[in-house]
Chains A and B, each alone.
Chain A
Amino acid sequence: MQVTMTINGQAVSEEIEPRLLLVHFIRDQLGLTGTHWGCDTSNCGTCVVLIDGEPVKSCTQLAAMAGGHDVKTVEGLEVDGVLDPVQEGFMQCHGLQCGFCTPGMMLTARALLDSNPNPSEEVIREAISGQICRCTGYSTIVRSIQWTAEHEASVTIGSSS
């Protein structure tokens, strides 16, 4: 079957098997390997992408279901050589070690901050609680997202003055 969607701002139209999972479509067919696969059961969240701005686990979604939608992967965070602040935040606060869960964590963080620019620690922990990190113990991920929120706030204030 044919599926058409927008990935990172670009329209793609591909012939796929109806049963193809979105994560395999993104990784194997489009070659965007920044989205990872980890568990098959929606528990680990390393496969999270944004569909129309909402975090979705791409291992339990058919590629066909994303047809007509706007999909964003980690490769879409950096625009024209400029990092998304959330990427900067993860580097500054040691929010990653092996880097395997990181794309999904950053995309969830992006979606959170887009809807809530100043989340509390509790809200951040809740937002990433559907995703597993084995390396960081989460504190530095929380700090990375807090750093991003603080920085985005200061940029907003700066640009409005």
Chain B
Amino acid sequence: MTTTDPAPEVTEEEERPIGFGRLLRKEDPRLIRGMGNFVDDIQLPGMLHLAVLRSPYAHARIVGVDKSAAEAHPKVVAVITGEDLAAQGLAWMPTLSNDVQAVLATDKVRFQHQEVAFVVAEDRYSARDALELIDVEYDPLPPVMDVRTALDPATAVIRDDLDGKTDNHIFDWETGDEAATNAVFDKADVVVSEEIVYPRVHPAPMETCGCVADVERVSGQLTLWCTTQAPHAHRTVYALVAGLPEHKIRIIAPDIGGGFGNKVPIYPGYVCAIVASLVIGKPVKWMEDRTENLVSTGFARDYVMKADIAATSEGRILAIRTDVLADHGAFNGVAAPVKYPAGFFGVFTGSYDLEAAHAKMTAVYTNKAPGGVAYACSFRITEAVYLVERIVDCLAHELDMDPAELRLKNLLKPDQFPYETKTGWVYDSGDYEPAMRKAMEMAGYDELRREQAEKRERGELMGIGVSFFTEAVGAGPRKDMDILGLGMADGCELRVHPTGKAVVRLSVKTQGQGHETTFAQIVSEEIGIPPEDIEVVHGDTDNTPFGLGTYGSRSTPVSGAAAALVTRKVRDKAQIIASGMLEVSISDLEWNKGSFSVKGDPSKSVTIQDIAMKAHGAGDLPEGIEGGLEAQICYNPENLTYPFGAYICVVDVDPGTAVVKVRRFIAVDDCGTRINPMIIEGQVHGGLADGVGMAMMQMIAFDEDGNCLSGSLMDYLIPTALETPDWETDHTVTPSPHHPIGAKGIGESATVGSPPAIVNAIVDALKPFGVRHADMPLTPSRVWETMQGNHTPPI
């Protein structure tokens, strides 16, 4: 019994578009056979296994480490401590925010589960066994766990490794015009204030982080198979940090089992594996377990945001200001462009036409794991959108106005684009009201409000939540944006083979987004070669041009533009060759997506495949044209792209148990030109499920002694098929004016836009209790407390 027929609702033509359209994924045939190649699948001859010993304390001085018993284990090859690394000058490494982070602790441990030593052994189990044989003596210190008191003078100083450091302060940052904003607040009819917490969460990809390091002894060549979203950036950082020659480093990111930002940073485990292979001369594998992933790798959010919104009594929003306390953990490991220590939080003005806005922020160290930008947040836009969409709902509550109506009254109008916000961001394009109206129509908004009113009469708790978000994705431009001095641009190379098949090489790397399909479609759209004839090569620094990688929804806005432009460059050359073949001038040719024909005489034409053979074949080419049909470019975006969307969530809350059921979720997204609608829908769906997790289920929590309470998937809850509804999605299309194909990026829109819609819905359901705000995660116990008037912030 088998099936090879296409789905009945999709015609064969739709399944095989030349260019954009629904196209089944090129990645799938290997993945559905279990023939993917993930890092932990890699087995090399003689490969050893590395396991990391971690600190049980959040804050403690290391008195001594005795590794003799571990070294005596018959299957142990090496045991390395922080002191061993320090002797080689490798105990510390730079973070992506120009701070330093311990590879292995030497002086102190600064968060629970920090890396203290590692073991290399012949097999996975022996390496773990030997960890228990290492004896570390600690002198515990008071842990700093409360972001609100981290700057108190009496608080212990975490980063005494930094010269002259006498407090836990990292940076202050502000944006907007404080005086102008305060002046608007002074004259406003209505001012609403709320403290809004975005708790610490974790991306928790299905595949944890890990690598296989293989240093070839004679040549010194390092090959690192690694769970990285940014292979080129990693290679350069290794070269700069460890002094390894860059041309002797090859980073291979094979299939990646989800990233969501978790696989952007360089983790101590990677460095340990490289050092181990270098020292031992054999390949070394390190794969963290789930607990290690949750307790030590890149977390997200952890912002305490005091927000004020000013408006007229008719509901015209005038200004927003915010004062943020940011918990960055023990090392400032935020992945963000250098000039943007708070990421793109400056877009907190949202989708509204304000008179003024101001934000200030203080970032502090605590004895928690480092990180700070991850979980599909588009560089802190998740926090910004949550802030504005929550405080707008608080305003609606105070004005006793419908939250959808309030938004419609204040959304930016199409003729205002490009729109410069009061914090200096230039939104490229937008047509917001149709998206909002479409979502309301899909939801049957007015009918839902009637149903809610009836239910309230009966004491039933039903909530309707609305959010409207604008994202900023696709970093650079490089003049403004770099990470550790590396400009945020991306290269792309296209080579058309003599028979008209092609290979396109990308600097970005899929972790499930479907680049092998989407990028083949972009090239196909521009040059008319069927997508199945275009191979997409990525995730290998030896075989792809330099670029900054996949995160912040930047693949389509940056690398997608590069793919389109490099293809146009090849097409321009093809046109010159075609003019020679048809013996007409270039201007007499017209392009028909796959062939050039003579204007007015379509019978005279050559296909791109004919041209490819000519480019490589016998005979002369037009004057000045070299053989071959290929090109390479590096694309530097002139601006970010600004996707947007309108989301509506409907929840029912059980008044007896406080269990929240997400009944419906309606998402209308606008990501500009749509390359593959099937993949776009998939990206949206995944982000919506993320939103359910963050809004209702998950938080990386700590006790006052610094113990991480969320170190397994029994404690850190992720939505299953039971907590998530069947998503209702649709779209509008407002192309980006500066992107060559008008596309904007979609990978994180739903993760950004869905949490406020869900929280707004739950708060709306609790309106009969007089509730105006409640902090995530809105678990049954926290909803219950809120119903009893006992709501407390989660941190």
Contacts and interface: CB of A to CB of B under 8 A. Distances in A.
Interface of A: 17, 19-20, 24, 27-28, 31-41, 43-44, 46, 73-75, 77-78, 82-83, 85, 87-94, 96-103, 106, 121, 124-126, 128-142, 147, 151-152, 155, 159
A134 B204 contact: yes
Contacts of A152: 1, 3
B6 A92 contact: yes
A146 to B, nearest CB: 11
B206 A40 contact: no
Nearest to A96: B31
A147 B727 CA distance: 17
19 contacts: A24-B124, A38-B290, A43-B713, A83-B32, A91-B25, A92-B7, A94-B25, A94-B679, A94-B682, A97-B258, A99-B512, A100-B207, A126-B721, A130-B720, A134-B203, A135-B682, A135-B686, A140-B681, A151-B3
A28 B41 CA distance: 8
Contact of A17 (B125, B679, B722): B125
B206 A38 contact: yes
Interface in B24-38: 24-25, 27-29, 31-36, 38
Contacts of B6: 92
Contacts of A147: 7
B713 A41 contact: yes
Contacts of B41: 27, 33
B38 A33 contact: yes
Interface string B693-725: 000000000000000000011100010111010
Contact of B35 (A34, A98, A129, A135): A34
A-B pairs, top 7 by smallest CB distance, nearest first, are: A34-B34, A98-B512, A99-B31, A100-B257, A137-B685, A74-B34, A97-B512
Provide the main secondary structure of the chain B interface.
Answer: loop
Nearest to A150: B8
Given A94-B25, A139-B726, 9 more contacts: A33-B41, A75-B33, A87-B33, A101-B206, A103-B34, A126-B721, A134-B205, A136-B686, A140-B685
Provide the main secondary structure of the chain A interface.
Answer: loop
A155 B603 CA distance: 46
B256 interface: yes
Contacts of B124: 24, 28
A28 to B, nearest CB: 7
A40 B724 contact: no
B38 A92 contact: no
Contacts of B125: 17, 19-20
Contacts of A28: 43, 124
Contacts of A78: 33
Contacts of B682: 94, 97, 135-136, 140
Nearest to B34: A34
A100 B3 contact: no
Range, interface on chain B: 35 or more
A65 to B, nearest CB: 17
A103 B257 CA distance: 12
Contacts of B204: 134
Contacts of B690: 134
Contacts of B511: 98
Residue of B512, B513, B688 with highest tally of chain A CB at under 10 A: B512
B512 A91 contact: no
Contacts of B686: 97, 134-137
B533 to A, nearest CB: 19
B457 interface: no
B722 A134 contact: no
A24 B256 CA distance: 19
Contacts of A94: 25, 678-679, 681-682
Nearest to B294: A39
A91 B28 contact: yes
Contacts of B40: 27, 33, 36-37
B642 interface: no
Interface in B11-55: 24-25, 27-29, 31-36, 38, 40-41, 43
Nearest to B123: A28
A146 B690 CA distance: 24
Contacts of A33: 34, 38, 40-41
Contacts of A101: 206
B712 A40 contact: yes
B514 interface: yes
A143 B260 CA distance: 24
B790 interface: no
A99 B255 contact: yes
A74 B33 contact: yes
